[in-house]
Amino acid sequence: MVKETLKFEVNQSSSSNQLAQQQSFQVPKNVQSISIEVTTDRPLWLNYMVYDDQNELRAQFMKINAPQPLVIHQEKGKTSPYTISGEIHEGEWMIDIVIISNEEIEANSKWCGCKITFNDTLVEYTQADAANWQTSEQTAFQLSGFDENKVFNQDSKWYKGDFHTHTIYTDGEMTREENMLSAKNQNLDFFVATDHNLVPTSWVDGKGILVIPGVEVTSMLGHFNILNTNTSPFLRNSMTDMMTEEGMNNILSDDYGNSIVSINHPFLTEWKWLLRETPLDKVDTMEIWNDPTYKYNPQATEWALIAWNYLLNDGYKITGIGGSDSHLKPDDAYEGSTEPSLIGDPGTYVYCEQLSAANVVTGLRKGNVTVSRGEFVQFRLGDLIAGSTSKDLTGLIHAQVDTEEAIYFEWIVDGEKVKKDMTNQSDFPINFTDPDAYHWIRVDVRHEDGRLYGFSNPIYFGEKQPTIKKWGQILDIMSDYIE
User: What's the pLDDT score for residue 11?
Assistant: 82
Q: Which residue has the higher pLDDT, 132 or 315?
A: 315
274: exposed, middle or buried (Cβ count in 10 Å: 0-12, 13-18, 19+): middle
Averaged pLDDT, 349-358: 98
Please give the Cα distance from 454 to 474 (Å, whole number).
23
Report the 10 Å Cβ neighbour count for 195.
25
Q: Which of 186-195, 205-214, 346-355, 461-470 has the lowest mean pLDDT?
A: 205-214
The count of C-alpha atoms lying within 13 angstroms of the C-alpha of 256, restricted to the half-sphere facing its C-beta, is: 28
Report the 10 Å Cβ neighbour count for 33.
24
Burial of 390-429, coded b for 16+ CB within 10 Å and e otherwise, reads beeeebebebbbebeeebbbbbbbeeeeeeebeebebebe
* Percent residues over pLDDT 70 in the chain: 95
Please give the Cα distance from 282 to 305 (Å, whole number).
19
User: What's the pLDDT score for residue 389?
Assistant: 98
Residues 6+ apart with CB under 8 A from 95: 22, 23, 24, 25, 36, 48, 49, 50, 51, 114
Averaged pLDDT, 114-135: 67
- Checking if the pLDDT of 135 tops 70, the result is no
Please give the Cα distance from 264 to 223 (Å, whole number).
6
User: What's the pLDDT score for residue 77?
Assistant: 81
Q: Structural domains in the chain? A: 4-127 (2.60.120.380), 157-478 (3.20.20.140)
Query: 271-309 pLDDT, tens per residue?
Result: 999 999 999 999 999 999 999 999 999 999 999 999 999
Residues 6+ apart with CB under 8 A from 392: 381, 382
**Which residue from 436, 384, 389, 379 is spatially nearest to 411, judged by alpha carbons?**
379
**Which residue from 34, 26, 95, 91 is spatially nearest to 63, judged by alpha carbons?**
95
Please give the Cα distance from 444 to 419 (Å, whole number).
11
340: exposed, middle or buried (Cβ count in 10 Å: 0-12, 13-18, 19+): middle
By DSSP bridging, strand 377-381 and strand 384-385 are: antiparallel
- Count of all residues that appear for the chain in the document: 483
Find the Cα–Cα–Cα–Cα dihedral 415, 418, 424, 426, rounded to 10°.
Answer: -110
Average per-residue pLDDT in the chain?
93
Averaged pLDDT, 162-177: 97
Q: Is residue 474 helix, strand or coil?
A: helix
Please report which confidence band the pLDDT of residue 162 belongs to, taking 50, 70 and 90 as the band edges: very high
- Checking if the pLDDT of 407 tops 90, the result is yes
User: What's the pLDDT score for residue 143?
Assistant: 79
Main-chain phi, psi angles of 198, to 5 degrees: -115, 130
Query: 35-76 pLDDT, tens per residue?
Result: 999 999 888 899 999 999 999 999 999 999 999 999 999 988
Averaged pLDDT, 458-467: 98
Please, what is the end-to-end C-alpha distance for the chain in angstroms? 63
Query: 197-239 pLDDT, tens per residue?
Result: 999 998 987 778 999 999 999 999 999 999 999 899 999 999 9
Q: Is residue 182 helix, strand or coil?
A: helix
**Which residue from 457, 325, 330, 436 is spatially nearest to 385, judged by alpha carbons?**
457
Q: Is residue 301 helix, strand or coil?
A: helix
Q: Is residue 364 helix, strand or coil?
A: helix
Please give the Cα distance from 57 to 140 (Å, whole number).
7
Q: Is residue 193 helix, strand or coil?
A: strand
- Checking if the pLDDT of 132 tops 70, the result is no
Burial of 112-126, coded b for 16+ CB within 10 Å and e otherwise, reads bebebbbbbeeebbe
Q: Is residue 190 helix, strand or coil?
A: strand
Q: Which residue has the higher pLDDT, 3 or 135?
A: 3
User: What's the pLDDT score for residue 207?
Assistant: 77
Q: Which of 87-96, 206-215, 245-254, 371-380 has the lowest mean pLDDT?
A: 206-215
Rg (alpha carbons) of the chain, rounded to whole number: 23
